Amino acid sequence: MTVLTLKRWNLSIGDQQPLVVIAGLNVIEDLDLALSTARHLKAVCADLGLPYVFKASYDKANRSSIKSYRGPGLEKGLAILAEVKSRVDVPIATDIHTPEECEPVAAVADLVQIPAFLCRQTDLVVAAARATHAAGGLLHVKKGQFLAPWDCRNILDKIAEAAGARDFTILCERGNSFGYNNLIVDMLGIGEMKKLGAPVTIDATHAVQLPGADPRTGGASTGGRRDGVSVIAKAAVAAGADGVFLEFHPDPDKALCDPLSCLPLDGAADLLRTLKGIHAAAN
């Protein structure tokens, strides 16, 4: 399998490389919170010797309710991410939703992320592939909740044809729909995705979601099982995941988006220390 590298950050992901940590906030709430979260997680990862990418979304386009908080939007959100990148000196990961967003996002983000529900949107995949490759970044594609692991080959083929290269794409496992309002993660799928020649990460945060099943809002928002995040992360790293995607908040119950799935920020060090040990044992 190809080892992918962000040369400007000396960060590599793939076989025999350190476990990559993509972590931060579900959505940008304000600059101060983004800065403090990035600084905390960067320090934790530096102490553990783990490569780190700060993640936060400028827009959460897939919401259960039209009233749900979505974020500051493209222009203001990218300005905040650029500020975090400059002041904290960290690479940035964020989501895109339309082809028009790809070029401005690729100019700021080092890891351009395609959400799971959009992974088969050909126009978006093509635009993201071209913009990300031209900017020298990596593409992080979440496998749809409706796809088998081996079906990700079609995504990689689209990217290769659009950009003339496929060795800048990371695939991300985040669970499959299982009946109503539930997701499961098939740990054997991680190995199947790696057979396609791409590094694979685990989005343990969104894998514990209960879509449209937050009891506090009568189904107007997504529920979650916060205690399951660490379980899925540990299992996936043991199964061969090359990186982990995690969302934190200093006060998870007050997070403006998906509070039931994010972890307390002060628990990051213990969890990442454990995941590093599992990764070392598995490799």
Nearest alpha carbon to residue 147 among 174, 165, 126? 174
The 8-class DSSP code of residue 159 comes to H
Determine the 3-state secondary structure of 64 from DSSP.
Answer: coil
- Over range 176-201, report the average pLDDT: 92
Task: List residues with catalytic annotation.
Answer: 26, 60, 258
DSSP conformation letters of 23-78: EEEEE---HHHHHHHHHHHHHHHHHHT--EEEEEES-----SSTTS---S-HHHHH
- Gap between the Cα atoms of 104 and 90, Å rounded: 18
**159 band by pLDDT with thresholds 50, 70 and 90:** very high
- Over range 225-232, report the average pLDDT: 91
Of the listed ranges 53-62, 65-74, 205-214, 255-264, the least confidently predicted one is 205-214
Identity of the residue numbered 274: T
- For the chain, give the mean pLDDT: 92
pLDDT for the residue 260? 80
Q: How far is CA 274 from the centre of its chain?
A: 19
Q: With 80 as the cut, is the pLDDT of residue 211 above it?
A: no
- Over range 66-87, report the average pLDDT: 91
Q: With 70 as the cut, is the pLDDT of residue 30 above it?
A: yes
Q: Supply the pTM of this predicted model.
A: 0.94
Of the listed ranges 56-65, 83-92, 142-151, 188-197, the least confidently predicted one is 56-65
- The count of other CB atoms within 10 Å of the CB of residue 195 is 13
CATH architecture of 4-282: Alpha-Beta Barrel (3.20)
**What percent of the chain has pLDDT above 90?**
79
Q: With 70 as the cut, is the pLDDT of residue 280 above it?
A: yes
pLDDT digit string, tens, across residues 117-151:
999 999 999 999 999 999 999 999 999 999 999 99
The 8-class DSSP code of residue 55 comes to E
**213 band by pLDDT with thresholds 50, 70 and 90:** very low
Say if strands 20-27 and 243-249 run parallel, antiparallel, or are unpaired.
parallel
- Gap between the Cα atoms of 256 and 264, Å rounded: 14
Query: Which two three-digit tokens encode residue 283?
Result: 């490799």
Of the listed ranges 38-52, 145-159, 251-265, the least confidently predicted one is 251-265
